[in-house]
Structure formats: C-alpha cells, structure tokens
Amino acid sequence: MKYEVIIMPAAQGELEEAYRWLAAETPQHAPLWYNGVLDAMYSLEELPARCPVAPESGDSGEEIRQLVYGNKRHAYRILFSIRNDTVLIVHIRNAARDRP
C-alpha cells in the first residue's frame, strides 16, 4: 500500500527555517541536506509504521511517530501521524531541541 505524504504548514515552515540556518552556516551543504530530508519524508509513502513512536505521542490524543534524518548537529526528527492511507508530517525538529 502506498501512502500519500502531506507536509503540514507548520512543518513546511520549520523545514524552511532549518534550511535557511544551514545555508548561512554551510551554503554548499544546505541543498544536499534539503533534498535528502525531502527524500526521507517521501520515503514514508512506503511502510511509515516502520518508524518508532515519538515521545510526543503521549502528549496528544493521536499516535505521533518519528523518522530521524541526518547526523550530529544536522540531525532532524520528522514527526508525523498516520491517518488511513495518509501520512501527515506535523513537525520537523532539530534532534538536539527539547520537545515542543
């Protein structure tokens, strides 16, 4: 079964903010990171339940899962929920940040 991946407005804003920060720090790496994180998000079209439940899941009435992309300072947690045949990406957080 193939899932539809939808990036919610808040997550899109967080993605753009992360890209701008990275572009200011390492302009040559930013486009590669951006394309890679998009590939990671769209990989959720297949088997999104393979990703573990996020700690934030207990804070809401809905199961939230996470996919980690990147490493070290550039690791980001892609937080999403699965509804029927749709994956809703709700937040993109730096892995070093505290929970929202």
Kindly state the percentage of the chain with pLDDT values over 90.
73
Residue 99 lies in a domain: no
Write a three-state SS string for 37-48.
Answer: HHHHHHHHHCCH
Residue 21 lies in a domain: yes
Instruction: Give mean pLDDT, residues 48-68.
Output: 88
How does 36-48 read in b/e, with b if 16+ C-beta sit within 10 Å? ebeeebebbeeeb
- Which pLDDT value is given to residue 98? 54
Residue 37: domain span? 4-94
Residue 100 lies in a domain: no
* Integer Cα distance of 98 and 78 in angstroms: 14
CATH number of domain containing 68: 3.30.2310.20
Q: Could you tell me the pTM of the whole model? A: 0.90
Pick the more confident residue, 55 or 61: 55
* Confidence tier at 15 by pLDDT (50, 70, 90): very high
Kindly state the percentage of the chain with pLDDT values over 70.
93
